[in-house]
Structure 1
Amino acid sequence: MRKNDQRRNALLDAAIEVLAKEGARGLTFRAVDAEAGTPVGTATNYFANRDDLLMQIAERVYQRWMPDEATWAAAKAGPQDRAKVVELMRETVGRVAGFRSGYLAMLELRLESTRRPELRAVLTERVRADVDANVAYHVERGLPGDAISVKLLMLALNWLIVETLTLPELFAPEEVDELVVKAVERSLAAT
Structure 2
Amino acid sequence: MPQRGNRRELLAEAAIEVLAQEGGRGLTHRAVDREAVVPEGTAKNYYPTRSALLIAVARHLAEQHTTALRQLVSQAPAGLTSADITKLYASMLRRSAGNARSQYLALFELHLEAVRNPEVRTALAEITRANADAAVELNAAVGHRMTRRGAGLLDAGMLGVALSVLTLPEDVADELGLSDADGVAQALLAVGSTDGEPVVGVLRDCAS
Supply the AA of the counterpart residue of 2:45: N
Return closer, same or farther for 1:38/1:120 CA change in 2, 3 Å cut-off: same
Residue-by-residue CA offset, 1:117-171 (whole Å, 9 max, x unaligned): 33334433x2453245235524653541311332222121111111122226133
**Cα drift, residue 43 of structure 1:** 0.9
Would the aligned equivalents of 2:32 and 2:43 in 1 still touch at CA under 8 Å?
yes
Matches for 1:95-174 after TM superposition, within 5 Å: 95-97=95-97, 98-124=99-125, 126-138=126-138, 141-147=141-147, 148-167=149-168, 169=170, 170-172=172-174
Partner of 1:76: 77
**Measured at CA, do residues 67 and 116 of structure 1 come closer, stay the same or move farther in structure 2, by a change above 3 Å?**
closer
Which amino acid letter does the alignment assign opposite residue 87 of structure 2? E
State the percentage of identical aligned residues.
33
Provide closer, same or farther for how the CA distance between residues 180 and 131 of structure 1 changes in structure 2, counting only shifts above 3 A.
Answer: closer
Return the offset for 1:35.
Answer: 1.0
* Distance in 2 of aligned mates of 1:68 and 1:127: 10
Which residue is equivalent to 1:177? 182
Residues in 1 aligned to 2:124 and 2:101: alpha-carbon distance in whole angstroms: 19
Structure-1 residue corresponding to 2:206: none
Corresponding residue pairs, total: 186
Please name the residue that 2:38 is paired with: 38
Question: Displacement of 1:115 after TM fit?
Answer: 2.1
User: How much has 1:29 moved relative to structure 2?
Assistant: 0.6
CA RMSD of aligned residues (A): 3.1
Determine if the alignment matches structure 1 residue 22 to structure 2 residue 22: yes
2:89 maps to: 89
SS of the residue aligned with 2:68? Answer: coil
Residues 90, 175 of structure 1: alpha-carbon distance in 2 compared, 3 angstrom cutoff? closer
Paired with 1:112 and 1:30, the residues of 2 have a C-alpha distance of 20
Q: Is the 8 A contact 2:20 2:103 kept in 1?
A: yes
CA contact (8 A) 1:11 1:43 kept: yes
Please tell me whether the aligned partners of residues 29 and 43 of structure 1 are also in contact (alpha carbons under 8 angstroms).
Answer: yes
Q: TM-score, with normalisation over the residues of structure 1?
A: 0.78
> Which consecutive residues of structure 2, in runs of 5 or more, have no partner in the other structure?
203-208
**Per-residue deviation, 1:9:** 1.3
